[in-house]
Amino acid sequence: MKIILIGYMASGKSYLGQKLAKILDFEFLDLDDFIEKEEKATIKEIFLSKGEIYFRKIEHLYLKKAIATNSNTVISLGGGTPCYGNNMSLLLNKPNIKTVYLQVSIPNLVERVLNETAKRPIIAHLKTKEELTEFVGKHLFERIPFYSKAACTVNANKKENEVIESVLMQLF
């Protein structure tokens, strides 16, 4: 079985994914980390040297690889993964794949990314809270149609334990 966590940047996919995997005794895979390890380059370097279109192509291929194994795994996707390359169709209506959207409010997302925009190529050019609020608001609005296709949606504005409990309640 695969539990796939999706959501905007900084919605807690990687952090909560690791915790969830530990609780369930599943393996854990972070798609960005998997890409970085296999490509021997950071996501930022890939964006800079090869561009976003190339990144989206390999992201699609690594997603396919990640879901092709037999193991029980919690997989955290990148914030954009569900929105490109028809990736959601690989994940929906599959008996062994459960998708979970971690929904976080715009102000909370902005607070979380405010001091770490540099490592995120999509928002690296944004500096102030106002710029980020405007960008994240519009960007999230474009992405919600993809995220909301997930089998479960969890309010991830809450405390870590509450979010994990909600994910488990919805899944099992």
The site for ligand S3P (CB under 6 A) is made up of 9, 13, 32, 43, 78-80, 120-122
The verdict on whether residue 101 carries a ligand-binding annotation is no
Minimum distance from residue 79 beta carbon to ligand S3P (Å): 3
Q: Which is nearer to ligand S3P, 29 or 32 (CB)?
A: 32
Distances in Å between the alpha carbon of 83 and those of 60, 69, 76, 78, 164? 11, 23, 14, 10, 24
61, 66, 67, 72: CA torsion to nearest 10 = 180
Closest separation in Å from C-beta 95 to ligand S3P? 27
Between residues 31 and 167, which has the closer beta carbon with respect to ligand S3P? 31
Which segments of 25-124 does DSSP mark as H helices, in order? 31-39, 43-50, 52-67, 87-91, 106-113
In the complex, least distance from residue 12 CB atom to ligand S3P, rounded to whole angstroms: 10
C-beta of residue 14 within 8 angstroms of C-beta of residue 58: no
Binding residues for substrate: 32, 56, 79, 143
Q: Which residues are annotated as a binding site?
A: 10-15, 32, 56, 79, 120, 143
Q: Which residues belong to the annotated binding site for Mg(2+)? A: 14
